[in-house]
Chains A and B, each alone.
Chain A
Amino acid sequence: MSETEPTSTSKAFVATMRRDLLIAFKRKNDLLNPFMFFFIVATLFPIGISPEPERLGEIAAGVLWISALLASMLAMDNLYRADYEDGSLEQLLLSSHPLYFMVLAKNISHWLVSGLPVVLISPLLAYMLNLPSESYFTLFITLLIGTPILSLLGSIGVALTVGLGSRGLILAVITLPMSIPVLIAGTIAVQQTLNGASLAGYLALMGAMLLAALTLAPLASAAALRISVN
């Protein structure tokens, strides 16, 4: 025992984020996997469907959004697993700080290393898939708002399944239905702005989704983690 001050929740939040980022950078494979997956899936479409610029341009938005969704799901699995296996998750659950903030910290750092690189590379792939150049910005901004929602939703599924020995497809079964509205909003936004519609309405819709996910999803993840560790 020593004479010490208890930490504030904000310090614990920052420390948890810093720890997760540090782990991510020490495990470069995990860091690169979703990014490479996104890149590979998106480059396979021209080969599999047609290299004609017109046809590619029509499907580009959907291809990029679906690839981003799959990459996000691929990345989710290691969000809590290592912590579950080495006991760090128990320590997190036993901290006196609200679990909401601890889960949020883990979600944010996870998105920074798995979601953000996908968003950043998306204009390059959009160019490769011949997406009309006036849609680059819409695609970029919808992915920027949409991928954190996918991460936050995926976190619930991972939290529910982290205690199961063999997860298989169950994570996809839980997460995909929740992700579909985001996919629809994102791809429609790109299509519609191409037809001259205003972007503001779609951004407001996705922004609302993001806010709802930020406030509610970590609560659900926290409850799911307590059940999984039980």
Chain B
Amino acid sequence: MSSNAELQHSHQPLLSARGLFCERDDRVLFENLNFQLQAGQVMQVRGSNGSGKTTLMRILCGLNDSYDGEIFWQGEPVQQQIAEYRASLLYIGHRVGVNKVLTPMENLRWSCSLQTQASDQAILQALAEVELMGFEESACYTLSAGQQQRVSLARLLLSPAALWVLDEPFTTLDAHGVSNLEELLESHANAGGSALVTTHHILNVADLQVLSLG
């Protein structure tokens, strides 16, 4: 995508945070947290259980606004360009956003429609790449947790978003799925995109940045 190539050449970090502070129930999750994520970088967010990884991800996406500090997208505060920021962002959380009554095809048609135009052909191709060929017309409640996770990961292939925010994307995947996702992260980074990933898994991705919490 051309805009990503431009991003790579500019010196502004794609996403940066300054002095992030968050507490929950009088317990400080993190304070004075600073980081910069350049275009083309993958950053792993590490930390023990309950250290605030998910909270951080949700704060960065704009789903959670109970924090102090500043978040910048391409050098500008995100609040000032929230629509552009959301258009460049793809978030997959613990709840993967897959409706169980609908088929993978119907789910992807809808979730793509929120961001980009994707033809049925492109969706089928993405489903084939996450190895769900033959399941495209089965209701998602008949699929395993790992397969439902794969449905949500197919969105990575269809979305034009420059920034991926993935919260524990590996938990339900098998070994093959894990290596596929790692390849996907690398090719996204090579194309000038960035990703933030929380996982306890040892990420096998070149030029990996690490952010440790707690």
* B99 contacts chain A at the CB level, 8 A cutoff: yes
- Over the window 76-105 of chain B, the binary record of Cβ atoms lying under 8 Å from chain A Cβ atoms (1 yes, 0 no) is 000000011011010101111111111000
Question: Considering only CB atoms, which chain B residue lies closest to A23 in the complex?
Answer: B101
Do A82 and B99 touch across chains, with their CB atoms under 8 A apart? Answer: yes
Contacts A1-B191, A86-B100, A90-B95; is A16 near B113 (CB within 8 Å)? Answer: yes
Do B97 and A96 touch across chains, with their CB atoms under 8 A apart? Answer: no
In the complex, which of the residues A97, A102, A229 contacts B63, with contact meaning CB atoms closer than 8 Å? Answer: A229
Name the B residues within 8 Å of A7 (CB-CB).
112-117
* B157 contacts chain A at the CB level, 8 A cutoff: yes
Name the B residues within 8 Å of A27 (CB-CB).
101
Name the B residues within 8 Å of A1 (CB-CB).
1, 4, 159-162, 188, 191, 193
Question: With A and B bound together, what is the CA distance between A92 and B98 in angstroms?
Answer: 12
Question: With A and B bound together, what is the CA distance between A7 and B86 in angstroms?
Answer: 13
**Closest beta carbon of chain B to A12's beta carbon, Å:** 5
Question: With A and B bound together, what is the CA distance between A96 and B115 in angstroms?
Answer: 7
Do A23 and B65 touch across chains, with their CB atoms under 8 A apart? Answer: no
Name the B residues within 8 Å of A165 (CB-CB).
none
* B10 contacts chain A at the CB level, 8 A cutoff: no
Do B95 and A6 touch across chains, with their CB atoms under 8 A apart? Answer: no
Among A1, A3, A15, the most chain B Cβ lie within 10 Å of the Cβ of A1
In the complex, which of the residues B97, B139, B188 contacts A91, with contact meaning CB atoms closer than 8 Å? Answer: B97
Majority DSSP secondary structure for residues of A touching B: helix
**Closest beta carbon of chain B to A84's beta carbon, Å:** 8
Do B63 and A85 touch across chains, with their CB atoms under 8 A apart? Answer: no
Do B111 and A91 touch across chains, with their CB atoms under 8 A apart? Answer: yes
Name the B residues within 8 Å of A93 (CB-CB).
63
* B109 contacts chain A at the CB level, 8 A cutoff: yes
Question: Considering only CB atoms, which chain B residue lies closest to A95 in the complex?
Answer: B114
* B127 contacts chain A at the CB level, 8 A cutoff: no
Majority DSSP secondary structure for residues of B touching A: loop
Question: With A and B bound together, what is the CA distance between A19 and B160 in angstroms?
Answer: 22
**Closest beta carbon of chain B to A77's beta carbon, Å:** 16
Name the B residues within 8 Å of A83 (CB-CB).
99
Considering only CB atoms and an 8 Å cut-off, how many residues of chain B contact the other chain?
Answer: 46
Question: With A and B bound together, what is the CA distance between A166 and B87 in angstroms?
Answer: 34
Do A3 and B1 touch across chains, with their CB atoms under 8 A apart? Answer: yes
Question: With A and B bound together, what is the CA distance between A2 and B139 in angstroms?
Answer: 27
Name the B residues within 8 Å of A11 (CB-CB).
113, 117
Name the A residues within 8 Å of B96 (CB-CB).
86-87
Question: Considering only CB atoms, which chain A residue lies closest to B159 in the complex?
Answer: A1
Question: With A and B bound together, what is the CA distance between A90 and B92 in angstroms?
Answer: 9
- Over the window 68-102 of chain A, the binary record of Cβ atoms lying under 8 Å from chain B Cβ atoms (1 yes, 0 no) is 00000000000000110111101111111100001
In the complex, which of the residues A95, A102, A230 contacts B115, with contact meaning CB atoms closer than 8 Å? Answer: A95
Question: Considering only CB atoms, which chain B residue lies closest to A82 in the complex?
Answer: B99
Question: Considering only CB atoms, which chain A residue lies closest to B66 in the complex?
Answer: A230
16 additional A-B residue pairs with CB within 8 Å, beyond A2-B158, A4-B160, A230-B64: A1-B191, A1-B193, A3-B160, A4-B116, A7-B116, A11-B113, A18-B110, A19-B102, A22-B106, A23-B99, A86-B97, A91-B97, A91-B111, A91-B114, A94-B91, A96-B114
Residues of chain B whose beta carbon lies under 8 Å from any beta carbon of chain A: 1, 4, 61-66, 83-84, 86-87, 89, 91, 93-102, 106, 109-118, 122, 139, 157-162, 188, 191, 193
Cβ-closest 6 pairs across A and B: A87-B95, A15-B113, A95-B114, A96-B87, A87-B97, A96-B86
